[in-house]
Structure 1
């Protein structure tokens, strides 16, 4: 099992500037390498304190210069918000800077706030993503970008620098697949699945194994291990870990609800996002407090020994290997607490997960 960490860049602090939060969290990229993590990831988000990472290529280029070993994961580039030609150029350039350490993530995006600000109708999101994903994947392999689709008209052009012919992008492209309609697309494209823990292990296991079987049907083999993201609290004291989790993972959950308007009713009217209305309705029916408590339980927290057993139980339930991704700084948790938990996780948890 490979183990990564996600930089969230979330400013839920009353006494810290955006610049301070941004700088300190980027420093966790270097900490990750020191602590034994295998990869560092960064999402793409805009216009909100939910996640201040408007250019994850730029952020990871900085991390590349601070590190030598860890893989650099784009988790993900939101394709409808970006010109596919520029995505290919930036990914190949970053891969050269990092000497082949890049893992390319593809995403569709969920926040109406972000779509509205970019002036892109959310009804076009699925069509834009499907069209762009094929352009980007082909461009990464060939170094040539061309399209005559509904959304993207690109005369054939070769990017420079060219991709390194001695490296392959096989198993280095992942796709955020969080909804029932995204899973078949990830399988068809032949890319690894990336998912965030929101429900119990059994529910996620059904989703992951459906993806695995669809991938095998399409490509004649099972895919590389999916990437599974948790929001993690690691502490030597069990009760302190519980307290921190119940406060800060719950606060992160509330930030998700607010940023994506998951408690709203617009999903059923938005083409390509109708399935999200089911989750929104479940949240309303359960009540925000119960929904937050369920989210806390779905993620990973505890002492190092408890965390190892939680990962072990998850793998046993799913019946397949997966790569673990852990975010430690979120929801306004004190920075020193998150760094301590990250280093403890690296010392006590990662060596055990590497044995799986």
Structure 2
């Protein structure tokens, strides 16, 4: 089992009093710390056109992280595939893989925000086709010969992409999704499946809350393994990645929630907007406006506490998903001070050591 740190987005809260330069500098410092305490990966995510400073330039961000570290996997979770030119993405990803000595992993997704498609001149209805063709072009571009592809959305022929990635097959491609077609697409085109453990897409868009984590994971693992088998792949070789919200504090769950509640509820309001909930639904999603019952519900959506509180949950997830499980544990939230985040990362290193038997 692996534990990665995520997700890094470059965001800050209004009135937080930090510059984008400082946010990125702190982020890279935190990722260096993650490497020092033994974590396996650091994950960067992509969105566009947000005044919070959400980073759209994920490959340059990944290059900066790669140059500042020496061992840790540099992961993208996820790039918004339909808005990218496949050859440009292939070149940028290959360069980061070379820069890092073969440490890049690349997640790709369809996206769902209309403004992002419109901003890059892409029609939403083409997102599935563009994503599938992009994945095939990436494989060709990273392979030994020239690119020779003619599809509905892209025609790319007669050239090679250089330098080639360090990893012989190129950076591993990761894909996710919750609909049956998305799970099948991941089985066909990708090297591993990403599950969003932080936001339950089936339920959040209807009610703004998540269902139980273990049941969701059991269902996703079963469906992905079935999809692998349908596509002629060994389901026993399934690689499963999961984003999971949480925060660690040496004084336990109450102290962890107090430290992270403002930042976490900010992310819930953002997702409420993105998922199209009525604004009045999430207007009071602020810790000082929430009832005790709402606080209990929200606390239950993420993993909180000291290492002893978190390890049993991760052990249960490993039982469900198998030893290839990689948890992208989110300890980075806008509004949480740098040193508080660093303290959580140090404790996450202890969690990782306990899970792999090093503590």
How many residue pairs match? The answer is 334
Q: Which residue number corresponds to residue 272 of structure 2?
A: 257
Corresponding position of 1:216: 229
Q: Give the Cα separation in 1 of the matches to 2:132 and 2:68.
A: 34
Residue 64 of structure 1 corresponds to which residue in structure 2? 66
Task: Assess, with a 3 A threshold, how the Cα gap between structure 1 residues 8 and 179 changes in structure 2: closer, same or farther.
Answer: farther
Residue 333 (str. 1) matches residue 336 (str. 2): yes
Rounded to whole Å, the distance in 1 between the matches of 2:127 and 2:157 is 22
Give the deviation of 1:144 after TM superposition. Answer: 3.1
Aligned in 2, Cα 1:186/1:16: closer, same or farther, shift over 3 Å?
Answer: same
SS in 2 for 1:48: coil
Q: What residue in structure 2 maps to residue 278 of structure 1?
A: none
Which residue of 1 is the match for residue 249 of structure 2? 235
Measured after TM superposition, the shift of residue 56 of structure 1 is: 1.4
Alignment partners' CA distance in 2, 1:295 and 1:146 = 50
Partner of 2:12: 11
Contact persistence 1:249–1:296 (CA under 8 A): no
Q: Is the 8 A contact 1:245 1:296 kept in 2?
A: no
Note the C-alpha offset of 1:163.
3.7
Task: Please report how far the alpha carbon of residue 294 of structure 1 lies from its aligned counterpart in structure 2 after TM superposition.
Answer: 4.8
Q: CA distance change for structure 1 residues 298 and 145 in 2, over 3 Å: closer, same or farther?
A: farther
Q: Secondary structure at the match of 1:219?
A: coil
Q: CA deviation at 1:245?
A: 4.6
Contact 1:142 1:163 in 2 (8 A): no
What's the CA shift for 1:219? 3.2
TM-score, normalised relative to structure 1: 0.84
Q: Judging changes above 3 Å, is the alpha-carbon distance between structure 1 residues 191 and 294 closer, same or farther for their aligned structure 2 residues?
A: farther
Residues 5 and 40 in structure 1, CA contact (< 8 A), matched pair in contact too: yes
Consecutive unaligned residues of structure 1, counting only runs of 5 or more, are 266-282
Deviation sequence 1:227-271 (CA, Å, 0-9, x none): 11112210011221233354432222222222x243169xxxxxx
Aligned Cα root-mean-square deviation (Å): 2.7
Between the aligned partners of 2:215 and 2:227, the Cα distance in structure 1 is 19
Distance 1:196 1:16, change over 3 A: same
Match of 1:185 in 2: 185
CA drift of 1:169 comes to: 3.1
Q: Deviations over 1:141-179 (max 9, x none)?
A: 345323221111212311121344xx4338822113243
Q: Kindly indicate whether the alpha-carbon contact (under 8 Å) linking 2:46 and 2:57 is maintained by their aligned counterparts in 1.
A: yes
Q: 1:127 to 1:295 in 2, by over 3 A?
A: farther
Tell me, in whole angstroms, the C-alpha distance in 2 between the residues paired with 1:225 and 1:149: 29
2:300 alignment partner, one of 290, 293, 297: 297
User: How do 1:1-356 residues align onto structure 2 when only pairs under 5 Å count?
Assistant: 1-6=1-6, 7-14=8-15, 15-49=17-51, 52-142=54-144, 144-164=146-166, 167-169=167-169, 172-197=172-197, 198=199, 199-200=211-212, 201-222=214-235, 223-238=237-252, 239-258=254-273, 260-263=274-277, 294=297, 296-318=299-321, 321-346=324-349, 348-355=350-357
- Spell out structure 1 runs of 4+ moving beyond 4 A: 287-296, 317-321
The question of whether the paired residues in 1 share the 8 Å contact of 2:106 and 2:171 is answered with: no
How far off its partner does 1:335 sit? Answer: 2.2
Q: Which residue of 1 aligns with 2:207?
A: none
Deviation at 1:67, TM superposition (A): 1.0
Report if the CA contact (8 A) 1:171-1:192 is conserved.
no
Cα shift at 1:212: 1.7
Secondary structure at the residue paired with 2:264? Answer: helix
